[in-house]
Amino acid sequence: MAQITKKIELAKAFLDAEELVAIPTETVYGLAAKGVSTKALKKIFEAKERPINNPLILHFKDIKSIAPFVSELTEEIHTLAEHFWPGPLTLLLPKSSQVPEIVTAGLERVAVRIPNHSKTLELLALLDYPLAAPSANPSGYISPTRPKHVERLLGNKIPLILDGGPCDSGIESTILGWEGNTPVIYRQGGIPMEDIEKVLGRKPRIHQKSEVLHTPGMSLSHYAPNTKTIVTKDILEHLQHYHDRDQKVGLISFQKHPMAQKSIAKEIVLSKDGDLEEMARKIYDAMHQLDSLGLDVLIIETAPEKGIGNAINDRLYRSASINKDN
Ligand code: AMP
Ligand code: MG
């Protein structure tokens, strides 16, 4: 325990000194910097090679500390906060002048959330500023859900990785904002739309892929392995195709397919019982594993289209080099 505390103190020292620290959250590992220091924030963009027009989410310890960074906190925001924070819900709110330009890429709203991970909450409690923290991976690549993913991808660029074990939820946060009075989901994620609808008492609109794209995180290609990736409902047809061409195939499926074995170099079944939360927790780790094997092609089966399955499919479709269903 003493050692853990020391690590957190070390993390604070680096962050105070405007250096980067990788932090655990329940969604994915974040690459954190002091959220009020443009000098520190620039280091995030450099390390990730992130386009400067891709805004950052600010992470806070509690709702009281969010207040100075936004222009108002409505009753509806407090209701959502009570139900979902700490947790994987990010709110897009009109920003105050305290928010550095680089955080929002010049946009009028700032993205805020309270993450649900004991170590990061302990760290935030020691700080008198929020942490900006996008996923701790090179821009456009698969998000990290374990310390070893961060080590492999960015280990030489950051002084400290705070080890908090594997991420519990495994998919990025749901991003919610308002257009006029209408709640809009800009990114599906760890909190399913159905749960938000229950709390708000009305259906949020889902921002469509065909609408103007605001940021790279919402662009159609992201979260992508280096290996050619096919995302499909019908894996058997694709397995046959690559089998006939003698290709080395990796398969990520959501359930066991008895007929599938013959043509697969490596298969990962995400959940034998069809448990959506388990699938979300494991999907990025499975992609990291298969992407490091030098295979010819990855075939990934889409998740059932309900609850967090919708967020998983959103990420899968963006990760695909060939998307057969969309
Ligand atoms: P991540 O890289 O997972 O931390 O997510 C950051 C994503 O949140 C960005 O790529 C945007 O899609 C979204 N985001 C963050 N801040 C804003 C903002 N001010 N306006 C619109 N979208 C935002
Ligand atoms: Mg990211």
Report the distance separating Cα 251 and Cα 285, nearest Å.
13
Given this model, what pLDDT does residue 208 score? 81
Mean pLDDT of 60-72: 97
Strand partners, 141: none
Q: Both ends of the chain: CA-CA distance in Å?
A: 49
Q: Which ligand is nearest to the CA of 112?
A: 1
Report the distance separating Cα 72 and Cα 235, nearest Å.
48
Report the distance separating Cα 283 and Cα 193, nearest Å.
20
Assess contact for 200 and 192: CB atoms under 8 A: no
- The protein residue with its alpha carbon nearest to ligand 1, atom 14, reads 55
Most ligand 1 atoms within 8 A of CB, residue of 175, 221, 318 to mutate: 175
- The protein residue with its alpha carbon nearest to ligand 1, atom 11, reads 217
Assess contact for 144 and 136: CB atoms under 8 A: yes
- The protein residue with its alpha carbon nearest to ligand 1, atom 4, reads 134
Instruction: Give, to the nearest 10 degrees, the angle between helix 276-291 and helix 147-154.
Output: 30
DSSP category for residue 51:
-
The pLDDT tens digits for 185-224 are: 999 999 999 999 999 999 999 998 655 444 444 444 567 8
Report the distance separating Cα 225 and Cα 228, nearest Å.
7
DSSP category for residue 216:
G
Q: Are strands 131-132 and 30-34 parallel, antiparallel or unpaired?
A: antiparallel
Distance (Å) from CA 57 to ligand 1 centroid: 6
- The protein residue with its alpha carbon nearest to ligand 1, atom 2, reads 134
The pLDDT tens digits for 131-189 are: 999 999 999 999 999 999 999 999 999 999 999 999 999 999 999 999 999 999 999 99
Given this model, what pLDDT does residue 36 score? 98
Residues near ligand 1 (Cβ within 6 A): 54-55, 57, 92, 104, 107, 109-111, 134-135, 172, 175, 187, 214-218
Nearest ligand 1 atom, CA 143:
3
Residue-by-residue DSSP string for 69-93: GBS---HHHHHHHHHH-SSSEEEEE
Strand partners, 92: 111
- The residue behind tokens 């061409």 is 245
Q: Is the pLDDT of residue 322 over 90?
A: no
Q: Which ligand is nearest to the CA of 27?
A: 1
Count the alpha carbons within 13 Å of 33 in the hemisphere toward its beta carbon.
Answer: 24
Work out the burial of residue 107: count CB atoms within 10 Å of its CB; fewer than 13 is exposed, 13-18 middle, 19 or more buried: middle
Q: Is the pLDDT of residue 1 over 80?
A: no
**Where residue 244 falls among pLDDT bands split at 50, 70, 90?**
confident
Q: Are strands 160-161 and 131-132 parallel, antiparallel or unpaired?
A: unpaired
Give yes or no for a cis peptide into 258 (omega within 30° of 0). no
Distance (Å) from CA 66 to ligand 1 centroid: 17
Given this model, what pLDDT does residue 212 score? 46
For 296, the token pair is 């010819």
Q: Is the pLDDT of residue 271 over 90?
A: yes
SS3 content of the chain, % helix, strand, coil (to 5): 35, 20, 45
Given this model, what pLDDT does residue 291 score? 95
- The protein residue with its alpha carbon nearest to ligand 1, atom 20, reads 109
Most ligand 1 atoms within 8 A of CB, residue of 28, 167, 214, 215 to mutate: 215
Domains of the chain: 2-171 (3.90.870.10), 229-323 (3.40.50.11030)
Distance (Å) from CA 148 to ligand 1 centroid: 24
Query: 255-275: buried (b, 16+ CB within 10 Å) or exposed (e) per residue?
Result: eebeebeebbeebbbbbeeee
Mean pLDDT across the chain: 91
Q: What angle do CA 110, 50, 11 make, to 5 degrees?
A: 75
Given this model, what pLDDT does residue 256 score? 75
**Where residue 262 falls among pLDDT bands split at 50, 70, 90?**
low
Given this model, what pLDDT does residue 318 score? 87
Considering the chain, what percentage of its residues have pLDDT values greater than 90? Answer: 81
